[in-house]
Amino acid sequence: MGRVAVIGDVGGHSAQLRAALVALGADPRSGRLPADLQVVQVGDLVHRGPDSAGVVALVDRALTDQPDQWHQLVGNHEGQYVDTPAFDWPEVLPGDVQDTLRRWWHTGRMRTAAAITESDGGQVLVTHAGLTAGLHRRLGRPPTGDEAAAALNALRHDDPGTLWRAGTMLGGGAPDHSAGPVWAEAGAELAASWVADEARGARMPFSQVHGHSSVVVFDRGEPLLCAPELRDRVRLQQADRHVAVSAAGGLLIGVDPGFGKRAHRRWAPLVFSGAAVTA
Protein backbone atom coordinates (compact mmCIF):
# COMPACT_ATOMS: atom_id res chain seq x y z
CA MET A 1 0.00 0.00 0.00
CA GLY A 2 1.04 3.58 -0.57
CA ARG A 3 -0.75 6.90 -0.85
CA VAL A 4 -4.05 7.65 -2.54
CA ALA A 5 -4.78 11.30 -3.36
CA VAL A 6 -8.37 12.28 -4.17
CA ILE A 7 -8.47 15.45 -6.25
CA GLY A 8 -11.63 17.55 -6.40
CA ASP A 9 -13.22 19.43 -9.29
CA VAL A 10 -10.43 21.33 -11.04
CA GLY A 11 -12.73 22.88 -13.64
CA GLY A 12 -10.29 23.87 -16.36
CA HIS A 13 -7.50 25.11 -14.08
CA SER A 14 -4.46 23.23 -15.38
CA ALA A 15 -1.90 25.25 -13.41
CA GLN A 16 -3.59 24.35 -10.12
CA LEU A 17 -3.77 20.68 -11.06
CA ARG A 18 -0.07 20.59 -12.01
CA ALA A 19 0.92 22.36 -8.81
CA ALA A 20 -1.08 19.92 -6.70
CA LEU A 21 0.55 16.94 -8.41
CA VAL A 22 4.04 18.38 -7.96
CA ALA A 23 3.28 18.91 -4.27
CA LEU A 24 2.41 15.19 -4.14
CA GLY A 25 5.79 14.29 -5.64
CA ALA A 26 5.13 14.30 -9.39
CA ASP A 27 8.04 15.23 -11.63
CA PRO A 28 7.73 18.98 -12.37
CA ARG A 29 8.82 18.55 -15.99
CA SER A 30 7.25 15.28 -17.12
CA GLY A 31 4.36 15.16 -14.68
CA ARG A 32 5.15 11.52 -13.94
CA LEU A 33 3.68 10.33 -10.64
CA PRO A 34 5.89 8.79 -7.94
CA ALA A 35 5.62 5.02 -7.63
CA ASP A 36 3.90 5.13 -4.24
CA LEU A 37 1.03 7.39 -5.39
CA GLN A 38 -2.37 6.65 -6.90
CA VAL A 39 -4.69 9.48 -7.89
CA VAL A 40 -8.48 9.46 -8.00
CA GLN A 41 -9.95 12.54 -9.68
CA VAL A 42 -13.66 13.01 -8.99
CA GLY A 43 -14.69 14.53 -12.33
CA ASP A 44 -15.55 18.01 -13.54
CA LEU A 45 -12.11 18.40 -15.04
CA VAL A 46 -13.48 20.85 -17.59
CA HIS A 47 -15.29 24.18 -17.95
CA ARG A 48 -15.12 27.39 -15.89
CA GLY A 49 -11.34 27.85 -15.91
CA PRO A 50 -9.05 29.00 -18.72
CA ASP A 51 -7.47 25.72 -19.86
CA SER A 52 -9.81 22.73 -20.05
CA ALA A 53 -7.79 21.40 -23.00
CA GLY A 54 -4.59 21.50 -20.93
CA VAL A 55 -6.25 19.65 -18.05
CA VAL A 56 -7.54 16.92 -20.36
CA ALA A 57 -4.14 16.58 -22.04
CA LEU A 58 -2.40 16.23 -18.68
CA VAL A 59 -4.81 13.53 -17.53
CA ASP A 60 -4.66 11.75 -20.87
CA ARG A 61 -0.87 11.43 -20.50
CA ALA A 62 -1.31 9.96 -17.03
CA LEU A 63 -3.99 7.52 -18.20
CA THR A 64 -1.73 6.45 -21.08
CA ASP A 65 1.63 6.31 -19.29
CA GLN A 66 0.55 5.26 -15.78
CA PRO A 67 -2.89 3.68 -16.16
CA ASP A 68 -2.67 1.81 -12.85
CA GLN A 69 -1.98 5.03 -10.95
CA TRP A 70 -4.59 7.45 -12.33
CA HIS A 71 -8.27 6.70 -11.78
CA GLN A 72 -10.55 9.12 -13.58
CA LEU A 73 -14.20 9.53 -12.61
CA VAL A 74 -16.96 11.17 -14.60
CA GLY A 75 -18.62 14.40 -13.52
CA ASN A 76 -21.72 16.13 -14.79
CA HIS A 77 -19.60 18.42 -16.98
CA GLU A 78 -17.98 15.44 -18.71
CA GLY A 79 -21.51 14.09 -19.02
CA GLN A 80 -22.24 16.87 -21.50
CA TYR A 81 -19.97 15.08 -23.97
CA VAL A 82 -20.27 11.38 -23.14
CA ASP A 83 -24.06 11.36 -22.80
CA THR A 84 -26.95 13.52 -23.97
CA PRO A 85 -26.25 17.12 -22.85
CA ALA A 86 -28.36 17.85 -19.79
CA PHE A 87 -27.92 21.60 -19.37
CA ASP A 88 -26.83 24.71 -21.21
CA TRP A 89 -23.23 25.81 -20.72
CA PRO A 90 -21.59 28.76 -22.48
CA GLU A 91 -18.28 27.01 -23.13
CA VAL A 92 -18.08 24.23 -25.69
CA LEU A 93 -14.87 22.21 -25.70
CA PRO A 94 -12.85 21.81 -28.92
CA GLY A 95 -13.73 18.73 -30.92
CA ASP A 96 -10.49 16.87 -30.18
CA VAL A 97 -10.95 17.40 -26.42
CA GLN A 98 -14.51 16.11 -26.66
CA ASP A 99 -13.20 13.08 -28.55
CA THR A 100 -10.70 12.37 -25.78
CA LEU A 101 -13.43 12.40 -23.12
CA ARG A 102 -15.56 10.07 -25.20
CA ARG A 103 -12.62 7.75 -25.75
CA TRP A 104 -12.00 7.53 -22.00
CA TRP A 105 -15.67 6.77 -21.37
CA HIS A 106 -16.11 4.16 -24.10
CA THR A 107 -12.89 2.34 -23.22
CA GLY A 108 -13.61 2.36 -19.48
CA ARG A 109 -10.71 4.66 -18.62
CA MET A 110 -13.26 7.05 -17.14
CA ARG A 111 -15.79 5.47 -14.84
CA THR A 112 -18.41 6.34 -12.25
CA ALA A 113 -16.91 5.14 -8.97
CA ALA A 114 -13.74 3.93 -7.28
CA ALA A 115 -13.09 2.38 -3.88
CA ILE A 116 -10.14 2.93 -1.59
CA THR A 117 -9.06 0.33 0.97
CA GLU A 118 -7.10 1.54 3.98
CA SER A 119 -4.54 -0.44 5.95
CA ASP A 120 -7.09 -1.34 8.63
CA GLY A 121 -9.42 -2.81 6.01
CA GLY A 122 -11.86 0.09 6.07
CA GLN A 123 -13.17 1.22 2.71
CA VAL A 124 -14.06 4.58 1.19
CA LEU A 125 -16.29 5.00 -1.87
CA VAL A 126 -15.39 7.84 -4.26
CA THR A 127 -17.83 9.28 -6.79
CA HIS A 128 -18.46 12.68 -8.32
CA ALA A 129 -21.54 13.61 -6.28
CA GLY A 130 -21.93 10.80 -3.76
CA LEU A 131 -24.05 7.69 -3.34
CA THR A 132 -27.39 8.71 -1.83
CA ALA A 133 -29.07 6.43 0.70
CA GLY A 134 -32.02 5.94 -1.63
CA LEU A 135 -29.81 4.74 -4.47
CA HIS A 136 -27.84 2.55 -2.05
CA ARG A 137 -31.13 0.80 -1.21
CA ARG A 138 -32.04 0.46 -4.89
CA LEU A 139 -28.69 -1.21 -5.53
CA GLY A 140 -29.45 -3.80 -2.83
CA ARG A 141 -27.42 -2.11 -0.07
CA PRO A 142 -23.92 -3.24 -1.15
CA PRO A 143 -21.96 -3.74 2.10
CA THR A 144 -18.49 -2.73 0.91
CA GLY A 145 -16.98 0.09 -1.07
CA ASP A 146 -15.70 -2.38 -3.66
CA GLU A 147 -19.19 -3.81 -4.22
CA ALA A 148 -20.80 -0.37 -4.30
CA ALA A 149 -18.26 0.83 -6.86
CA ALA A 150 -18.89 -2.24 -9.03
CA ALA A 151 -22.66 -1.70 -8.88
CA LEU A 152 -22.34 1.97 -9.76
CA ASN A 153 -19.94 1.31 -12.62
CA ALA A 154 -22.38 -1.26 -14.03
CA LEU A 155 -25.12 1.37 -14.31
CA ARG A 156 -23.66 2.87 -17.49
CA HIS A 157 -24.73 -0.29 -19.34
CA ASP A 158 -27.49 -1.68 -17.12
CA ASP A 159 -29.41 1.45 -16.10
CA PRO A 160 -28.06 4.73 -17.50
CA GLY A 161 -31.21 6.55 -16.42
CA THR A 162 -30.31 5.88 -12.80
CA LEU A 163 -26.68 6.82 -13.37
CA TRP A 164 -27.61 10.25 -14.75
CA ARG A 165 -30.64 10.76 -12.49
CA ALA A 166 -30.63 14.43 -11.55
CA GLY A 167 -32.15 15.95 -8.46
CA THR A 168 -32.73 19.48 -7.35
CA MET A 169 -29.53 20.86 -8.92
CA LEU A 170 -30.85 20.34 -12.43
CA GLY A 171 -34.07 22.22 -12.98
CA GLY A 172 -34.92 22.78 -9.33
CA GLY A 173 -37.77 20.97 -7.67
CA ALA A 174 -37.85 18.98 -4.46
CA PRO A 175 -34.70 17.17 -3.30
CA ASP A 176 -34.45 13.58 -4.45
CA HIS A 177 -32.97 11.19 -1.88
CA SER A 178 -32.28 8.72 -4.70
CA ALA A 179 -30.46 11.19 -6.97
CA GLY A 180 -27.64 9.63 -8.94
CA PRO A 181 -23.88 9.69 -8.28
CA VAL A 182 -23.21 12.39 -10.87
CA TRP A 183 -25.86 14.91 -9.77
CA ALA A 184 -26.78 14.49 -6.08
CA GLU A 185 -26.62 17.79 -4.17
CA ALA A 186 -24.32 17.51 -1.15
CA GLY A 187 -26.66 18.83 1.52
CA ALA A 188 -30.31 18.40 0.63
CA GLU A 189 -29.85 15.05 -1.16
CA LEU A 190 -26.63 13.24 -0.20
CA ALA A 191 -26.27 14.18 3.46
CA ALA A 192 -30.00 14.52 4.10
CA SER A 193 -30.69 11.06 2.66
CA TRP A 194 -28.21 9.41 5.03
CA VAL A 195 -29.43 11.44 8.01
CA ALA A 196 -32.94 10.19 7.22
CA ASP A 197 -31.65 6.61 6.98
CA GLU A 198 -29.86 7.06 10.29
CA ALA A 199 -33.20 8.01 11.90
CA ARG A 200 -34.59 4.70 10.60
CA GLY A 201 -31.73 2.80 12.22
CA ALA A 202 -29.77 2.19 9.02
CA ARG A 203 -26.00 2.49 8.75
CA MET A 204 -23.69 3.64 5.99
CA PRO A 205 -21.30 0.68 5.66
CA PHE A 206 -18.41 2.76 4.30
CA SER A 207 -17.45 6.39 4.23
CA GLN A 208 -17.52 8.43 1.03
CA VAL A 209 -15.57 11.14 -0.75
CA HIS A 210 -17.27 13.31 -3.36
CA GLY A 211 -16.92 16.53 -5.32
CA HIS A 212 -19.62 18.39 -7.28
CA SER A 213 -21.07 20.53 -4.46
CA SER A 214 -20.67 21.29 -0.79
CA VAL A 215 -22.75 21.80 2.35
CA VAL A 216 -20.55 24.83 3.02
CA VAL A 217 -20.01 28.06 1.09
CA PHE A 218 -16.55 29.55 1.62
CA ASP A 219 -16.75 33.33 1.38
CA ARG A 220 -13.86 35.62 2.20
CA GLY A 221 -12.27 32.80 4.14
CA GLU A 222 -15.29 32.33 6.37
CA PRO A 223 -17.46 29.20 6.22
CA LEU A 224 -21.15 29.95 5.79
CA LEU A 225 -23.32 26.88 6.31
CA CYS A 226 -26.08 26.66 3.73
CA ALA A 227 -27.71 23.69 5.49
CA PRO A 228 -28.18 24.77 9.14
CA GLU A 229 -29.75 21.45 10.15
CA LEU A 230 -26.36 19.83 9.46
CA ARG A 231 -24.42 22.29 11.62
CA ASP A 232 -23.56 19.88 14.42
CA ARG A 233 -22.48 17.23 11.93
CA VAL A 234 -20.00 19.33 9.93
CA ARG A 235 -16.22 19.46 10.30
CA LEU A 236 -14.17 21.84 8.20
CA GLN A 237 -10.61 21.61 6.99
CA GLN A 238 -10.68 25.16 5.76
CA ALA A 239 -7.11 25.47 4.46
CA ASP A 240 -7.61 22.45 2.19
CA ARG A 241 -11.28 23.27 1.45
CA HIS A 242 -12.48 19.88 2.65
CA VAL A 243 -15.82 19.42 4.44
CA ALA A 244 -16.84 16.28 6.33
CA VAL A 245 -20.42 15.49 7.38
CA SER A 246 -21.08 12.66 9.83
CA ALA A 247 -24.17 10.59 9.06
CA ALA A 248 -25.38 7.04 9.66
CA GLY A 249 -22.11 5.99 11.26
CA GLY A 250 -19.90 7.17 8.41
CA LEU A 251 -18.40 10.30 6.90
CA LEU A 252 -19.31 12.15 3.72
CA ILE A 253 -16.21 14.12 2.77
CA GLY A 254 -16.54 16.85 0.16
CA VAL A 255 -13.42 17.85 -1.77
CA ASP A 256 -14.81 20.30 -4.34
CA PRO A 257 -12.59 23.40 -3.95
CA GLY A 258 -15.25 25.58 -5.54
CA PHE A 259 -13.23 26.96 -8.44
CA GLY A 260 -14.95 29.42 -10.76
CA LYS A 261 -13.32 31.43 -13.51
CA ARG A 262 -10.54 31.94 -11.00
CA ALA A 263 -9.05 29.30 -8.73
CA HIS A 264 -8.36 29.56 -5.03
CA ARG A 265 -4.77 29.71 -3.88
CA ARG A 266 -5.33 27.54 -0.82
CA TRP A 267 -6.65 24.07 -1.48
CA ALA A 268 -5.26 20.54 -1.53
CA PRO A 269 -6.15 16.99 -2.49
CA LEU A 270 -7.35 14.63 0.24
CA VAL A 271 -4.56 12.11 0.87
CA PHE A 272 -4.96 8.63 2.37
CA SER A 273 -1.71 7.11 3.62
CA GLY A 274 -1.29 3.35 3.78
CA ALA A 275 -4.08 2.83 1.24
CA ALA A 276 -4.76 1.54 -2.26
CA VAL A 277 -7.46 1.82 -4.92
CA THR A 278 -9.10 -1.59 -4.99
CA ALA A 279 -12.08 -1.01 -7.30
Question: What's the pLDDT tens digit per position in 148-171?
Answer: 999 999 999 999 999 999 999 997
Question: What's the pLDDT tens digit per position in 167-176?
Answer: 999 978 999 9
Looking at per-residue confidence, does 95 or 218 come out higher? 95
pLDDT tops 70 at residue 220? no
pLDDT at site 239: 86
Which residues on adjacent β-strands are paired with residue 73? 111
pTM value is: 0.97
Q: What is the average pLDDT across 44-64? A: 98
Q: Give the domain range for residue 226.
A: 2-277
Per this entry, what is the length of the chain?
279
pLDDT at site 264: 85
Q: What is the CATH number of the domain that holds 253?
A: 3.60.21
Q: What is the average pLDDT across 226-230? A: 81
pLDDT band at 147 (very low <50, low <70, confident <90, very high): very high
259-265 long-range contacts, CB within 8 A, separation 24+:
259/9, 259/10, 259/11, 259/12, 259/13, 259/16, 259/48, 259/49, 260/11, 260/48, 261/48, 261/49, 261/50, 262/49, 263/13, 263/15, 263/16, 263/49, 264/218
Question: What's the pLDDT tens digit per position in 67-86?
Answer: 999 999 999 999 999 999 99
Number of structural domains found in the chain: 1
pLDDT tops 80 at residue 112? yes
Q: What is the average pLDDT across 111-132? A: 98
